[in-house]
């Protein structure tokens, strides 16, 4: 399993970070979790296989996690010769279909027409969804928006968890428990803390519950980059921590 933090930024424009997007490659599955502004072009820049994505899973419907979805679909249709014909699944929390219907109002009714064939799948917290090749997608409710969820991908005895946007939630930590890699949002410093985003200290507290093999932090608003993130995480979590940049990759060998 290989995970790449394609976009590690937020709604705040940033010279080095595009908006949210994480690519998980596992066997035949190519899963893109979230597709914020700049993610599609960042994948092309990094020579990641945007052409071969099999699933796009949205954690929630905020613009900085969904803006580039039409660009990706049009890339498959008009940016390849011949156009992509292999089917794609768009996965998300309940309400995904109605949100996509709203996109059709903006981009035209042909957005979701073939090619490629596109299937829409709504998953409830606690459900699992096969991605192919033995990889399984799991879903956990998180506190951010009404629909927000975190995802896990399990295959070959390995498991990664991607929090999406979230406030602190011990239940999320327990659900992520023992994962090999926890990709966790780290949005704001303590002085700008909001109940529906994490500070570095809260990331440490969450990791102390989950006890991941590796904690990979992402989704940085500029003010949080000015604080000693690793030191604050270490107040609660003594494991390995990585502050991710766009294009950072992690490879997990099967157990």
Half-sphere exposure at residue 161, Cβ-oriented, CA atoms within 13 angstroms: 29
Tokens 């292999």 correspond to what residue?
86
Nearest-5° Cα angle at 54, 163 to 58: 30
Distances (CA, A) of 183 to 69, 137, 175, 242: 21, 15, 14, 10
> Which positions ≥6 away from 90 have C-beta within 8 Å?
55, 56, 58, 69, 96, 100, 118, 119, 120, 121
> Which positions ≥6 away from 153 have C-beta within 8 Å?
1, 24, 26, 29, 31, 131, 135, 136, 137, 138, 159, 160, 162
Which helix (DSSP H) or strand (DSSP E) does residue 44 occupy? helix 39-45
**What's the CA gap between 126 and 142, in Å, rounded?**
12
Length of the chain in terms of residues written: 255
**What's the CA gap between 212 and 210, in Å, rounded?**
6
Look up residue 229 and give its DSSP letter: H
Higher-pLDDT residue of 253 and 137 is 137
What does the pLDDT average to over 42-55? 98
- In the chain, how long is the greatest CA-to-CA distance? 53
Q: Which residues pair with 122 in a beta bridge?
A: 92
Pairing relation of β-strands 149-155 and 128-132? unpaired
Global pTM reads 0.97
Q: What is the pLDDT of residues 50-106, one digit of tens each?
A: 999 999 999 999 999 999 999 999 999 999 999 999 999 999 999 999 999 999 999
**What's the CA gap between 115 and 185, in Å, rounded?**
34
Q: What is the pLDDT of residues 133-185, one digit of tens each?
A: 899 999 999 999 999 999 999 999 999 999 999 999 999 999 999 999 999 99
**What's the CA gap between 128 and 137, in Å, rounded?**
5
| In the chain, % of residues over pLDDT 70 | 100
Q: What is the predicted pLDDT for the residue at 255?
A: 66
25, two tokens: 């490659």
What does the pLDDT average to over 236-255? 95
Distances (CA, A) of 255 to 19, 92, 158, 159: 32, 29, 7, 10
Look up residue 16 and give its DSSP letter: S
247, two tokens: 């294009």
């Amino acid at each position: 399993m290989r995970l790449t933090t394609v976009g590690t930024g937020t709604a705040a424009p940033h010279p080095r970070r595009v908006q949210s997007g994480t690519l998980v490659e596992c066997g035949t599955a190519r899963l893109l979790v979230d597709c914020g502004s700049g993610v599609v072009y960042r994948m092309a820049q990094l020579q990641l296989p945007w052409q071969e994505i099999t699933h796009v899973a949205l954690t929630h419907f905020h613009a900085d996690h969904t803006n580039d979805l039409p660009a990706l679909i049009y890339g498959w249709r008009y940016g390849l010769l011949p156009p992509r014909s292999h089917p794609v699944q768009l996965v998300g929390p309940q309400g995904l279909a109605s949100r996509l219907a709203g996109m059709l109002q903006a981009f035209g009714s042909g957005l979701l027409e073939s090619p490629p064939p596109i299937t829409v799948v709504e998953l409830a917290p606690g459900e699992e969804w096969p991605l192919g090749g033995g990889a399984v997608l799991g879903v956990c409710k998180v506190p951010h928006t009404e629909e927000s969820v975190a995802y896990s991908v399990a295959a070959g005895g390995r498991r990664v968890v991607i929090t999406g946007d979230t406030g602190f939630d011990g239940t999320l930590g327990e659900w992520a428990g023992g994962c090999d890699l926890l990709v966790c949002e780290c949005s704001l410093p303590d002085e700008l803390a909001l109940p529906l985003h994490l500070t570095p200290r809260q990331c440490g507290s969450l990791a102390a519950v989950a006890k991941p093999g590796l904690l990979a932090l992402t989704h940085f608003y500029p003010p949080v980059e000015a604080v000693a993130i690793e030191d604050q995480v270490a107040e609660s979590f003594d494991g390995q921590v990585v502050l991710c940049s766009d294009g950072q990759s992690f490879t997990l060998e099967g157990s």
